[in-house]
Structure 1
């Protein structure tokens, strides 16, 4: 992939006057990024940004839709409620699936959030302390020195029983009225947090909910596994380990 992108970038550098686009394509934008001193970022950095964009915009959504569908398919009671919600929202089978209807699919939305809580795509979030940061934990006071790197694991943080009761159980209702366990500050890190949280999270919800809405309405989904697959923490983007097949039958 690095070789492929490097070749494309070099070709763009070698032919600056060729008509590639109106200059608003993402490659043109990346190649024009400058530091405060006016220098351009390197081709290696452009390549890294392109690869990051590809993984962030495609692979994570693919993994998220996989986990969400697996959890729903493995719980008949949740599946029944999902189908009922789809029938209620899409009361006219011939109506187009639009933005407003997608937003009405609250249970599907919460199922995706719960799947991300149990199986976040990234196992680590990294931040740099820009100043000394006082932290109180376990009744003790600590200081994170300026310049130190801080590593946070959503996989650990989102399974803390003090925040999410029965943390290993798939329970989309934990996000609903009366519970809203995710509202404790920085308790839910499915898309990171703070100033550098994922800017594409709203698009990700629309994308995955659109895919799953069509699948659940058009097909009867039956899991062909006895238990949920283990989580592959060694993967770059955390997906299922081993086979986890599902049968699709046209409704």
Structure 2
């Protein structure tokens, strides 16, 4: 899976993300002014761009609407109860299971057509990669396993990016000084050509926008809890005292709490992207920043997430003047799995 997210593939994704973004905005944000629901729009945009990059042109063009509807049922079948009772006999779980079966059928058809007509794909999407991989014993993965991986990637590439892009854009629009810095950086990176087609190097140079996204994830992390299960007894020492985490027990950390600790992030309730820039670099204290988890199992898709969100927001803030309609920033919905 990591091979599908390496730099050479990320470079190919930027043009696809930009094309999808511009087409969406042209169709849905026409006119000189108007009111939009950023969460709804960015949800649609992130699933469009994720599908184009992960699933490929044929899925995006021919069966995207079906995939989107099935994804809705899969998404709503993931609740806090699911974590502890994944097969609870609820209506949401029934729809989720049915949607997954239908998703397998759809992707099996796509995979079959891809194998019969390989020239129809440019080979840069992750579906192409999955179709060719094998287990260590040489056995190819099944179509159902490919579908499972694609569903997992779509969840990772849509839900969290949707939430993080919404919070990032809201926090930027909330502070004129931050917005001015974002626009000044865009002008500098693009050499004054604000309609320029984006390249990988352009996105990499947008350090302030990068730090805005980091800070939005610090203020409003997408997951309020990160769980890890101990596979063996784990001895630890905390403040001079020894403990053992028994095999099979779960350890939970809350990014929502830890990334608001004053001892690590001074003025933690203030949106301040510069806290990540030199010389402050407050995030460099080990395990202080958990926007993408941490340790051996940190999010492998974080580079894709930065590329996806920064490309979308770069275009939006260059093309539109964004102002918040509501008086106050919205409250975080802690009842949801992704907040």
TM-score by length of 2: 0.60
Task: Describe the shift of the 1:167–1:30 C-alpha distance in structure 2 as closer, same or farther (beyond 3 A).
Answer: farther
Q: Residue 64 of structure 1 contacts residue 112 of structure 1 at CA under 8 Å; is this kept in 2?
A: yes
Residue of structure 1 aligned with 2:116, choices 7, 16, 19: 19
1:70 maps to 170
More helix by share: 2
State the secondary structure of the residue aligned to 1:143. Answer: strand
TM-score by length of 1: 0.79
1:71-86 aligned within 5 A: 71-86=171-186
Q: Confirm whether residue 100 of structure 1 aligns to residue 179 of structure 2.
A: no
2:307 maps to 206
Instruction: Mark the runs of 5 or more structure 2 residues left unpaired by the alignment.
Output: 1-69, 71-99
Instruction: Mark the runs of 5 or more structure 1 residues left unpaired by the alignment.
Output: 239-251
Distance apart, 1:92 and its partner CA: 3.4
Query: Structure 2 CA distance, aligned partners of 1:20 and 1:127?
Result: 42
Residue of structure 2 aligned with 1:162, choices 256, 263, 272: 263
1:246 maps to none
Structure showing greater relative contact order (alpha-carbon pairs closer than 8 Å, 6 or more residues apart):
2
Distance apart, 1:12 and its partner CA: 8.0
Number of residue-to-residue matches in the alignment: 236
Task: Describe the shift of the 1:51–1:123 C-alpha distance in structure 2 as closer, same or farther (beyond 3 A).
Answer: farther
Cα root mean square deviation, aligned: 3.1
Task: Describe the shift of the 1:102–1:32 C-alpha distance in structure 2 as closer, same or farther (beyond 3 A).
Answer: closer
Task: Describe the shift of the 1:52–1:233 C-alpha distance in structure 2 as closer, same or farther (beyond 3 A).
Answer: farther
State the secondary structure of the residue aligned to 2:102. Answer: helix
Distance apart, 1:175 and its partner CA: 0.6
Poorly superposed stretches of 4+, deviation over 4 Å: 9-13, 15-18, 20-25, 30-36, 38-43, 45-48
